[in-house]
């Protein structure tokens, strides 16, 4: 298949090349099937793949996962790695919601045990976990110094305050704390925005979803992950709230100036950046780590309130519900990792913007509990369809810097979704499918209506067939709370 605008070349049924030309430093590689590619070309995300390839020090390829859609600077679903000596770091390659991510919780409960109690479960979750724009917890008052401790220590801080156990930390990317965070680089405005929002869900596509294992594709790996048919699961999807947004906003201004200072030619101002080892680059990475740690702490605290909510709604002892993390992964992050480039091991700065790490079995950074099967990969769908659990693969590690997609990917803007759902009652539509939803506002439900997203099953099938993730189980939603 060829396209006049992007000169796209077919590699195989699930990969497409945008060949290097002009000021591109590397090829673009897009993971998609033919139908998806036609849809992808309706926005400017492929141009963003090309734009990323212009950046200094980029290694191998500018990559796009099958959930790709237009974003700020990088496309959402974009992955790019940069050489430590010649490369750059760009806030546009991480995103505004730093360490927006997803945590999967398994339980000792089964579908039949909670089916008649869903109303109580969803109402208790909604009452216990603040959601919506500007949501905050009235019972949590952080001093500025305590907030800085959160930024430095991440989920470890939450556990030290009684929100969960040390075992939880073993099932979180980076054990819930990215090193190198420097809270002194965080602006007063960012601290102010974050102080009251810790332990809250927020708005937009963030959610807590109770579901069950509806399909098992690999029994052995599912057992290793503690997942079985009809077992109840909980997915928590949220990030660094207003603090992360403000950190990004603050450093975009810094990076605009840095791009000029270091004479970096930008195809798009939204790709403003600085050399990784520059003063500006190091400061951004240290501030980004603070926001990422805030997000880890946020999901850890929400996990604690999920446990409390189940105990209260179902009148079960915590030992009976046995709610524990399968894993917690970042979606928006830049990280230092070792990868093989041209046969040589190299230290790289890997940007994942709406993408998930997918490390293989026996990799040093794959958690000890999953060394034999590979790092869990969590791909949530929308509130009306399903989600998937996969594991990372050697092919992902060799071809995509150990990366895969992070979700379904939007096909409608929030404005479009609002227009096409005019006059519809989304909550009732979902209820008719057996899915109970509670949301802070009707606007959230119409903006996040299932048809606003690609079919996550099609996206995951591309990942599985391309070998950059291996399907393990499918999860079906039963009840959801949204912001």
Enzyme catalytic residues: 406
Angstrom distances, CA of residue 123 to CA of 75, 164, 197, 205, 275: 36, 22, 21, 19, 48
Dihedrals φ, ψ of 400, to 5°?
-130, 25
Angle of helix 241-261 relative to helix 279-314, nearest 10 degrees, comes to: 170
**Per-position b or e across 84-102, b if 16+ CB within 10 A of its CB:** eeebbbbbbbbbbbbbbbb
- Rounded to whole angstroms, how far apart are CA atoms 471 and 481? 26
Q: What is the C-alpha R_g of the chain?
A: 21
**3-state secondary structure string, 326-346?**
EEEEECEEEEEEEEEECCEEE
Quick check: 297 and 158 in contact, CB under 8 A? yes
Angle of helix 279-314 relative to helix 118-128, nearest 10 degrees, comes to: 140
> CA triplet 460, 465, 394: central angle to 5 degrees?
100
Quick check: 392 and 329 in contact, CB under 8 A? no
């Amino acid at each position: 298949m060829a396209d006049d605008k992007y000169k796209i070349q077919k590699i195989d049924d699930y990969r497409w090349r945008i060949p290097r030309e002009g000021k591109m430093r590397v090829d673009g590689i897009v993971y998609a099937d033919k139908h998806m590619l036609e849809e992808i070309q309706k926005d400017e995300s492929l141009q963003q793949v090309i734009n990323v390839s212009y950046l200094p020090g980029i290694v191998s390829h500018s990559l796009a996962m099958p959930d790709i859609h237009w974003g700020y600077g990088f496309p959402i679903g974009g992955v790019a790695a940069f050489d430590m000596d010649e490369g750059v770091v760009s806030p546009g390659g991480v995103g505004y919601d730093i360490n927006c991510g997803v945590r999967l919780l398994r339980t000792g409960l089964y579908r039949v045990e909670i089916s008649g109690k869903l109303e109580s479960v969803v109402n208790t979750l909604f009452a216990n976990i603040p959601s919506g724009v500007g949501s905050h917890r009235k019972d949590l008052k952080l001093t500025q110094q305590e907030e800085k401790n959160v930024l430095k220590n991440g989920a470890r801080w939450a556990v030290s305050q009684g929100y969960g156990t040390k075992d939880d930390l073993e099932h979180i990317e980076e054990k819930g704390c990215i090193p190198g965070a420097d809270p002194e680089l965080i602006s007063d405005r960012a601290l102010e925005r974050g102080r009251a929002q810790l332990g809250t869900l927020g708005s937009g596509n963030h959610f807590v979803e109770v579901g069950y294992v509806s399909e098992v594709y690999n029994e052995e790996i599912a057992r290793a992950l503690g997942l079985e048919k009809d077992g109840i699961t909980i997915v928590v999807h949220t990030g660094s709230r207003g603090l992360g947004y403000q950190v990004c906003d603050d450093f975009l201004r810094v990076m605009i100036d840095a791009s000029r200072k270091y004479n970096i030619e930008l195809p798009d101002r939204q790709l403003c950046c600085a050399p990784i080892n520059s003063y500006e680059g190091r400061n951004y990475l240290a501030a980004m780590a603070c926001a990422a740690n805030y997000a880890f702490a946020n999901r850890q605290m929400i996990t604690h309130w999920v446990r409390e909510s189940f105990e209260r709604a179902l009148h079960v002892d915590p030992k009976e519900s046995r709610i524990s993390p399968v894993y917690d992964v970042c979606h928006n992050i830049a990280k230092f990792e070792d990868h093989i480039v041209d046969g040589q091991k190299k230290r790289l700065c890997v940007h994942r913007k709406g993408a998930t790490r997918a490390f293989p079995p026996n990799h040093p950074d794959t958690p000890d509990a999953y060394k034999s099967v590979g790092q869990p990969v969590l791909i949530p769908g929308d509130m009306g369809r399903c989600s998937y659990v996969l594991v990372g693969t050697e092919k992902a590690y060799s071809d995509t810097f150990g990366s895969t997609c992070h979700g379904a990917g939007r096909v409608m803007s929030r404005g479009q979704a609002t227009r096409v759902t005019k006059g519809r009652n989304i909550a009732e539509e979902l209820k008719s499918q057996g899915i109970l939803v509670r949301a802070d506002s009707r606007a959230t439900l119409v903006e996040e209506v299932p048809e606003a997203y690609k079919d996550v099953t099609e996206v995951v099938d591309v990942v599985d067939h391309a070998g950059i993730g291996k399907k393990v189980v499918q999860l079906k939603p039963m009840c959801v709370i949204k912001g």
